[in-house]
Amino acid sequence: MARGYVFVDTEVGKGQTVREHLLQTQGIVAADLVMGPHDLVVIVEEPSIEEVGRVVVRDVHGTPGVKNTITMIVINRE
């Protein structure tokens, strides 16, 4: 199983709405509101890295209120 951590920046006041939407998306196993330079940390798990990328591009980027993302793919998972 491939995993990616996605740091999400949202429009002002949209963090909770974006979080609720993302938690209904297949492949997203967690979405936490955080304090700091980003608004959410999202964990995506799919069978392959390519499928993690599809979830990020199709579902995260396509969510109203999302301004920007940074994605980190896990390379060493035990």
Give residue limits of the domains in the chain. Answer: 2-73
| 2-73 to CATH, choices 3.30.70.920, 3.40.640.10, 3.40.50.720, 3.50.30.50 | 3.30.70.920
Give the DSSP letter of residue 11. Answer: -
pTM higher than the cut 0.85: yes
Alpha-carbon Rg for the chain, nearest whole angstrom, is: 12
State the number of CA atoms in the 13 A half-sphere of 34 facing the CB: 14
Which pLDDT value is given to residue 78?
Answer: 67
Dihedral, CA atoms, 46, 70, 63, 20, nearest 10 degrees? 70
Summarize pLDDT for 7-18 with one digit per residue, the tens: 999 999 999 999
Could you report the per-residue pLDDT of 20-52, keeping only the tens digit for each?
999 999 999 999 999 999 999 999 999 999 999
Q: What pLDDT is stored for residue 31 in this prediction? A: 98
Residue 77 has pLDDT above 80, yes or no: no
Residue 62: how many CA atoms within 13 Å on its side-chain side? 8
